[in-house]
Structure 1
Amino acid sequence: MTESANPTPHSAGNSADHPSPHSFVPPALVGNRDSGDGWVEDGTGRRFWGRFGAAGLLAHDAERGILLQHRANWSHFGGTWGLPGGARHHDETSVQGAIREAHEEAGVPSEALTLRFTSTLDLGFWSYTTVVVDVVTPFDAVIADAESIEVRWVPIDEVSTLPLHPGFESAWPALRTGLERSTVLIVDAANVVGSKPDGWWNDRLGATERFATELAGLALQGFPAEALGITHGSEPGSEPGSEHGTKSGSERGSERGSSTWWPSILLVVEGQARGTVVGDPLHPGQAPADPDARPGAPAKAHDLATALSIVRAEADGDQTIVDTVERHLSPRLSPRLSPGSPGTPSHRVLVVTADRELRSRVESLGAAVRGPNWLWQLLESPAGHSTSG
């Protein structure tokens, strides 16, 4: 996260142009026309880093904690700890920007990550997005340029003991709450496909293939938090890229916050539709192209998106869904929950179906239920939940 009055180029070194991270003298600005390096102002004297907005990466390793950067002394709030990140490039998505910056600053490999959620603070003329990812392949972070004194995996319970960048310190409680949440979306393919009278009965496999392709596209873009019933319960109190620190409540009036999530998606297919290969890891070429991809992009959204997985019912599709719900939810149910409670606050299973009997069965296990129209509306309005930012 580069936020100095004279930003740094992304390369290591100790020359006049590339000072030591222990120096309090900022480097000279070196960039290209696509670079977002630079300040923008809100008209009141407040400045925000990133001409096209900014993004940071919160990489979570279940064993080691989260990856933090000890910021170079010459940087904005130098000497504090925060997330690797910085200004987005022109036409670069938030996910792409966060991954590129984390790779340049800490050697983070995009192929080792899976998207969990993003949290965006939008001021209208400027935005900052925290991209939260799970580490699926452990890696050792390294100091890859002059912006860090140190990069370190920090256990979650120890994060707040460090001197944090004020913006990250303010956002951390809500981000930590997000890390404790997970959502599994189980889709009754036969019921959802059958809810639209578009001639699906003439080609059940083809109709399911088309639906699965659309669902895979939604899996790339992510789901609005509110659609999944997720609320953070608190909002960031300052902009991580602001020249200033935290703000009073009156100064937050124009802020807009949004969050996008990537749940684990299981598509349950039965009968003739069991032949569908969209979402099958043996047929990766069936997945749709990344809508955010562009030539030369350092990180593509589909590299990080949670895969759509196919569950093939051997006989009864409803029973397969019930078994799948039980497998994902029952071990996590709190003894304080009564039958019909919508799971635990930190782990939710959503089932998409209009079948009344199936709805009753999965709700008794603690799952929540959404009707087919809920999913079709999300599929038919992709612009409303794009995560590219």
Structure 2
Amino acid sequence: MTIGETRPPFSGPRDPGDAWAVGPDGTRMWGRFGSAGLLVVDPSRGVLMQHRALWSHFGGTWGIPGGARHEGEAAIDAALRESHEEAGVPADALEPLFTQVLDLGFWTYTTAVAWTTRAFEPAIADAESLALSWIPVEGVQDLPLHPRFAEAWPELKAMICRRPVLIVDAANVVGARPDGWWRDRPGAAARLLAELEQTVSAGLPAGLLGLDAHTAWPDVVVVLEGEATAAGPPDRAAGTPRLDVVQAAGSGDDEIVARVRALRADDGAAPVTVATSDRGLRGRVAELGARSIGAGALREVLDRGSLS
């Protein structure tokens, strides 16, 4: 289902969220606690699109699977649940990329974008779809799209094929807080890695990475230098595969610059953000087309913990 959806037929117990949200001017939107939809991107087949049932609002147009959030349910969980209920999308075949939120004050719609980690075929599982198809990215605009999805598509298209990268100057971020880190540099680095793993797994504020979105799941590269390299990489079985720990053989700044240069060398390069308050390093990476944020900005996110 999509923004402003007509209520679907129900065949079982209803969640309290399966109800209309009513705005101050009487506008009604489906989903008492908001709604969410899932845009699945497969690198070889394009995006998964839903040909919407004729009885629905703007029936016969194309959009993405989705529907009302349940009470207390996170938006991304709702998007995954609805896509499974409507299209048989397996959650274990996906990894999140970012979410965007349309906030009307009294109601929200969250578009969750995810990449496939393995191939699967969708299957119509309820009355909400006429068809489900993988559509090449360049062919989406040629479909008769649901008007709200058509409005969102140009911006989504520009973001769905590139995962952002966050490179962390560990020494600078650790040194941003005078908590006695100098007495145990490996221990301080290990604590930073643990904080990053927890927060990155839940998603980072997209604005931190310069993205016009709500939450993002970037690739994270943490550069350790000197004594801190003894912290070593985290247990990959327990950690997020999106966090890579680099033990610099020499200068951490030089290693960071080399990483930025390699990432920015490719056509269609992913957006790169470096977390450091070192002015010299920030200037060097800016010359290579990367943006930077201060160590304090990242520290604030880590201290606040994961987003709800």
**So what's the TM-score if we normalise by structure 2?**
0.90
* 1:350 aligns to 2:273 (yes or no): yes
* 1:322 aligns to 2:257 (yes or no): yes
Alpha-carbon offset, residue 91 of structure 1: 0.7
Deviations 1:322-356 (A, max 9, x none): 22112211223xxxxxxxxxxx8x73221122334
Deviations 1:65-104 (A, max 9, x none): 1101111222222221110010111111000000011111
* 1:7 aligns to 2:8 (yes or no): yes
Amino acid at match of 1:377: E
1:350 match: secondary structure? strand
Query: Which is worse superposed, 36-45 or 66-75?
Result: 36-45
Alignment of 1:335-374 (within 5 A): 347-374=270-297
Distance of 1:128 and 1:279 partners within structure 2: 36
- Equivalent position of 2:104 in the other structure: 123
Task: Give yes or no for contact 2:263–2:270 (8 Å, CA) kept in 1.
Answer: no
* 1:265 aligns to 2:214 (yes or no): no
Distance of 1:330 and 1:370 partners within structure 2: 21
Alpha-carbon offset, residue 50 of structure 1: 0.8
Task: Give yes or no for contact 1:219–1:306 (8 Å, CA) kept in 2.
Answer: no
Distance of 1:211 and 1:108 partners within structure 2: 35
Distance of 1:365 and 1:261 partners within structure 2: 23
* 1:31 aligns to 2:13 (yes or no): yes
2:214 match: secondary structure? strand
1:8 match: secondary structure? coil
Distance of 1:55 and 1:166 partners within structure 2: 16
1:331 match: secondary structure? coil
1:347 match: secondary structure? coil
Alignment of 1:153-192 (within 5 A): 153-179=134-160, 181-192=162-173
Alpha-carbon offset, residue 306 of structure 1: 6.9
- Equivalent position of 1:216 in the other structure: 197
Which of 226, 251, 255 aligns to 2:207? It is: 226
Higher RCO, Cα 8 Å, sep 6+:
1
Amino acid at match of 1:263: P
Give the fraction of aligned pairs with identical amino acids, expressed as a percent. 48
| Structure 2: tracts of 5 or more residues without a match | none
Alignment of 1:74-85 (within 5 A): 74-85=55-66
Task: Give yes or no for contact 2:17–2:31 (8 Å, CA) kept in 1.
Answer: yes
Cα 1:200–1:328 change in 2 (3 A) is same
Amino acid at match of 2:225: E
Distance of 1:152 and 1:359 partners within structure 2: 44
* 1:150 aligns to 2:131 (yes or no): yes
| Structure 1: tracts of 5 or more residues without a match | 10-16, 18-29, 232-257, 288-304, 333-343
Alpha-carbon offset, residue 278 of structure 1: 6.3
- Equivalent position of 2:246 in the other structure: 311
RMSD: 2.4
Cα 1:55–1:162 change in 2 (3 A) is same
Cα 1:4–1:115 change in 2 (3 A) is closer
Alpha-carbon offset, residue 138 of structure 1: 2.0
Distance of 1:168 and 1:35 partners within structure 2: 26
Alpha-carbon offset, residue 373 of structure 1: 1.5
- Equivalent position of 1:379 in the other structure: 302
Alignment: residue pair count: 307
Task: Give yes or no for contact 2:166–2:275 (8 Å, CA) kept in 1.
Answer: yes
Cα 1:323–1:329 change in 2 (3 A) is same
1:187 match: secondary structure? strand
Cα 1:171–1:367 change in 2 (3 A) is closer
2:115 match: secondary structure? strand
1:66 match: secondary structure? strand
Task: Give yes or no for contact 1:68–1:153 (8 Å, CA) kept in 2.
Answer: yes
Alpha-carbon offset, residue 6 of structure 1: 4.6
- Equivalent position of 1:340 in the other structure: none
Task: Give yes or no for contact 2:218–2:242 (8 Å, CA) kept in 1.
Answer: no
Task: Give yes or no for contact 1:31–1:37 (8 Å, CA) kept in 2.
Answer: no
- Equivalent position of 2:183 in the other structure: 202
**So what's the TM-score if we normalise by structure 1?**
0.72
Cα 1:381–1:180 change in 2 (3 A) is same
Deviations 1:239-270 (A, max 9, x none): xxxxxxxxxxxxxxxxxxx6222221111123
Alpha-carbon offset, residue 280 of structure 1: 4.1
